[in-house]
């Protein structure tokens, strides 16, 4: 059964701690994306990766880091430098030449107190 | 930059047709238009995509005029389960931070 998985569904952290959000896909997609969504807001691109070992910053990359060591995996680390990390984080993937056809994971809701 | 603009919210009665428009005045030649549906605390789900004129599938139609500066998602005979937020996306390959633009979303509420 193909798809994108994100874990965990809910994550709680203390301020000042780094936290890594998992994203795995078995769709054989080259491109993967991370978005942030705040209550009542749209999707804002954090990072994008077109192929393994390559990634580009999105609109709001400050305070975040990513890695892409495997095609299937694109973890996002929320660092202590991110001033307002509490949000809903969405991972997506697509065929490399079709960024308009993105498949989304179920999301991770991160709460930092 | 192909900034996208949508109405913040819309209400409709059950059984009616709903049209949601997205403006993208600076759309580029290679940009495609896609619409997604999102329920609370879930990831967006692909509804329909197009480049120009009209596209129809089993759940919706997408109308794109000749100048492509806007697009309209049409949902026929909505039901309560269509209550969700609808996003338009303008994007082109190769994807990148400057080639991918989500609208701010339109919250559709279907009233019994």
Kindly determine whether residue A106 and residue B93, on different chains, have CB atoms separated by under 8 Å.
Answer: no
- Token pair listed for B68: 């492509």
Say which DSSP state B16 is in.
-
| φ and ψ of B6, to 5 deg | -135, 155
pLDDT value of position A1: 54
Q: Convert the pLDDT of each residue in B31-51 to its tens digit.
A: 999 999 999 999 999 999 999
Contacts of B99 in chain A (CB under 8 A): 99
Chain A: nearest CA to B39, how far in angstroms? 10
SS3 B80: helix
Q: On the CB side of A40, how many CA atoms lie within 13 Å of its CA?
A: 3
The pLDDT value recorded for residue A55 is 92
Mind listing the pLDDT tens digit for each residue in A48-75?
999 999 999 998 999 999 999 999 999 9
> What pLDDT tens digit does each residue of chain A (113 aa) get?
569 999 999 999 999 999 999 999 999 999 999 999 998 788 999 999 999 999 999 989 999 999 999 999 999 999 988 889 999 999 999 987 788 899 999 999 999 99
Which residues make beta-bridge pairs with B35?
Answer: B48, B88
Taking an 8 Å cut-off on Cβ atoms, the answer to whether A57 and B49 are in contact is no
Distance CA(B76)–CA(B59), nearest Å, equals 8
What residues contact residue B58 under an 8 Å CB cut-off, 6+ apart?
none
């Amino acid at each position: 059964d193909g798809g994108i998985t994100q874990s965990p569904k809910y994550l709680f952290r203390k301020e000042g701690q780094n936290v890594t959000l998992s994203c795995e896909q078995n769709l054989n997609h080259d491109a993967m994306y991370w978005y942030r969504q705040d209550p009542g807001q749209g999707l804002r691109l954090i990072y994008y990766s077109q192929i393994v070992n390559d990634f580009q910053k999105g609109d709001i990359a400050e305070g975040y880091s990513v890695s892409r060591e495997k095609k299937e995996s694109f973890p996002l680390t929320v660092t202590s430098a991110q001033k307002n990390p509490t949000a809903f984080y969405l991972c997506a993937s697509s065929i490399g030449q079709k960024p308009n056809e993105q498949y989304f994971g179920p999301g991770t809701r991160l709460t930092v107190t | 930059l192909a900034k996208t603009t949508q109405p913040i919210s819309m209400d409709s009665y059950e059984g009616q047709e709903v049209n949601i428009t997205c403006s993208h005045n600076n759309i580029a030649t290679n940009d495609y238009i896609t619409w997604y549906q999102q329920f609370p605390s879930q990831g967006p789900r692909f509804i329909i995509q197009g480049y120009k004129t009209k596209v129809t599938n089993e759940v919706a139609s997408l109308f794109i005029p000749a100048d492509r500066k806007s697009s309209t998602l049409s949902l026929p005979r909505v039901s309560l389960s269509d209550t969700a937020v609808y996003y338009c996306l303008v994007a082109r390959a190769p994807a990148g931070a400057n080639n991918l633009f989500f609208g701010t979303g339109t919250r559709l509420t279907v009233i019994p």
